[in-house]
């Protein structure tokens, strides 16, 4: 009998221990809640979607950075929905957060969610993507997004080969994301002179073609072009658009081509389409985010470059700001961004172009990825 009593007792102790471990694992999964006095959450983090490796990278880097933090945090994903995003912010408000770090799914639509946080006296840090048309944003941590587009455009120019009349295919991000405008603006700045002088011929956008002699595009003009060549950050939409464009393209818009693809997810799917067209002899294609799958594509010669945005720096900047705020200090900023309503004080980080030659030095030697993550390096 004793034995039987002992076993359930032991079992329940083991179960409790298991649950405790399970819980701490779970809290690590959604953010570190350790070491924290009152059980409330100090910093809430809201990311746009788990469906893109880019944002899963951010989650991982946040978790790494938070391991030894004294402050409690929780990370929630909005899964591409502004309604879910608002719900996430409300959940975090109810948990007593003092700082909200948020990468909005949709820049203008996130205004309502952050206004609710602001009302509660919570400081709001816009993360990577700017929340627009609201005064309820206190700070912005970001990469230099115009420089991302410039690097993409310059890469196409430098790798296009000689001659004139090279077909240029343009693709862009989602118009609900302010970054999509900044990326395209940067790319256009360097590509436009080469379009105007006939080096490149725009293959897939009558709106861009109509603006080819204009160096600086207004927001409205950018909107028109984006409206035509947007991928909505969706690899499937990118693939469908690329297929439609190639089906419509005449022979002189094939051969050796260059392609402005806004990020890695869309780049891989566009590259697959161009790579399987027998009339495309060679293509140069851009990307951004240094996603593992794209690094493999670069090693394999299927994607030409990516713009590496070291998420460790962005995370450190965002958490550094949050801690300054929690400690009652004023965060350091390096400039500001006009969000259509106010000038948001911002901290900006540089970006690095990665191609086959420097994958190892930039991504492996820096400890960002493991060599064993890739084949053929």
CB of 178 to ligand BGC, least distance (A): 8
Binding residue (CB under 6 A) for ligand BGC from 57, 263, 286, 339: 263
Q: How many residues bind ligand BGC (CB under 6 A)?
A: 11
Binding residue (CB under 6 A) for ligand BGC from 32, 45, 54, 200: 54
CB of 8 to ligand BGC, least distance (A): 51
Could you tell me the end-to-end alpha-carbon distance of the chain, in angstroms, rounded to an integer?
A: 63
Identify which of residues 172 and 246 has a Cβ nearer to ligand BGC in the complex. 172
Please enumerate in sequence order all residues whose Cβ is within 8 A of that of 91, keeping only pairs 6 or more positions apart, or say none.
76
Reduce the DSSP state of residue 355 to 3 states and report it: coil
Identify which of residues 89 and 148 has a Cβ nearer to ligand BGC in the complex. 148
Residue 190 near residue 150 (C-beta atoms within 8 A): yes
Binding residue (CB under 6 A) for ligand BGC from 59, 177, 234, 310: 177
**Residue owning tokens 């072009």:** 225
Between strands 343-349 and 335-338, the pairing is antiparallel
Torsion sign over Cα 223, 228, 229, 232? positive
Please enumerate in sequence order all residues whose Cβ is within 8 A of that of 65, keeping only pairs 6 or more positions apart, or say none.
312, 315, 316, 319
Does 58 bind ligand BGC (CB under 6 A)? Our answer is no
Half-sphere exposure of 74 (CA within 13 A, CB side): 21
Does 52 bind ligand BGC (CB under 6 A)? Our answer is yes
Does 128 bind ligand BGC (CB under 6 A)? Our answer is yes
CA 256 to chain CA centroid, nearest Å: 29
Q: Which helix (H) or strand (E) holds 154?
A: helix 145-159
Does 192 bind ligand BGC (CB under 6 A)? Our answer is no
- By CB under 6 A, which span of 80-88, 160-168, 171-179, 336-344 interacts with ligand BGC? 171-179
- By CB under 6 A, which span of 77-85, 173-181, 188-196, 359-367 interacts with ligand BGC? 173-181
Does 179 bind ligand BGC (CB under 6 A)? Our answer is yes
Nearest residue to ligand BGC, using CB? 263
CB of 48 to ligand BGC, least distance (A): 6
CB of 57 to ligand BGC, least distance (A): 9
Burial class of residue 81 in the structure, from the number of CB atoms within 10 Å of its CB (0-12 exposed, 13-18 middle, 19+ buried): middle
Sheet with 73-77, edge to edge strand ranges:
73-77, 43-47, 99-102, 123-127, 139-143, 343-349, 335-338
Does 289 bind ligand BGC (CB under 6 A)? Our answer is yes
Identify which of residues 233 and 274 has a Cβ nearer to ligand BGC in the complex. 233
Identify which of residues 111 and 173 has a Cβ nearer to ligand BGC in the complex. 173
Does 310 bind ligand BGC (CB under 6 A)? Our answer is no
Task: Please report, for the chain, how many H helices and E strands are present, in that order.
Answer: 13, 13
Q: Which residues bind ligand BGC (CB under 6 A)?
A: 52, 54, 128-129, 173, 177, 179, 233, 263, 288-289
């Amino acid at each position: 009998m004793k034995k039987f009593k002992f076993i359930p007792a032991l079992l329940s102790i083991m179960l409790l221990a298991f649950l405790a471990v399970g819980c701490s694992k779970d809290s690590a999964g959604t953010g570190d809640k350790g070491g924290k006095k009152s059980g409330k959450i100090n910093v809430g983090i809201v990311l746009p979607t788990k469906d893109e490796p880019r944002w899963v990278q951010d989650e991982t880097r946040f978790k790494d950075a938070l391991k030894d933090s004294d402050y409690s945090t929780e990370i929630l994903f909005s899964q591409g929905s502004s309604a879910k995003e608002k719900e996430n912010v409300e959940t975090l408000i109810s948990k007593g957060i003092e700082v909200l770090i948020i990468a909005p799914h949709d820049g203008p639509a996130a205004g309502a969610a952050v206004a609710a946080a602001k009302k509660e006296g919570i400081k709001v840090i816009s993360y990577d993507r700017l929340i627009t048309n609201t005064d309820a944003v206190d700070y912005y941590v970001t990469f230099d997004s115009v420089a991302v587009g410039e690097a993409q455009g310059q890469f196409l120019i430098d790798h296009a080969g000689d001659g004139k009349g090279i077909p240029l295919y343009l693709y862009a991000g989602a118009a609900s994301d302010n970054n999509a405008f900044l990326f395209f603006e940067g790319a256009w700045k360097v590509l436009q002179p080469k379009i105007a002088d006939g080096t490149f011929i725009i293959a897939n956008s009558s709106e861009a073609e109509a603006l080819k002699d204009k160096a600086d595009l207004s927001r409205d003009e950018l909107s028109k072009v984006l409206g035509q060549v947007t991928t909505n950050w969706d690899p499937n939409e990118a693939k469908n658009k690329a297929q439609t464009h190639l089906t419509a393209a005449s022979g002189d818009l094939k051969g050796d081509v260059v392609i402005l693809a806004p990020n890695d997810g869309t780049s891989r799917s566009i590259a697959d389409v161009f790579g399987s067209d027998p009339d495309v002899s060679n293509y140069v294609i851009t990307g951004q985010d240094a996603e593992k799958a794209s690094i493999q594509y670069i090693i394999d010669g299927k994607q030409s470059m990516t713009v590496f945005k070291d998420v460790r720096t962005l995370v450190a900047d965002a958490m550094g700001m949050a801690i300054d705020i929690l400690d009652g200090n004023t965060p350091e900023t390096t400039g500001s961004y006009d969000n259509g309503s106010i000038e948001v004080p911002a901290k900006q980080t540089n970006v690095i172009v990665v191609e086959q030659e420097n994958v190892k030095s930039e991504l492996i030697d820096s400890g960002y990825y493991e060599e064993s993550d890739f084949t053929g390096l």
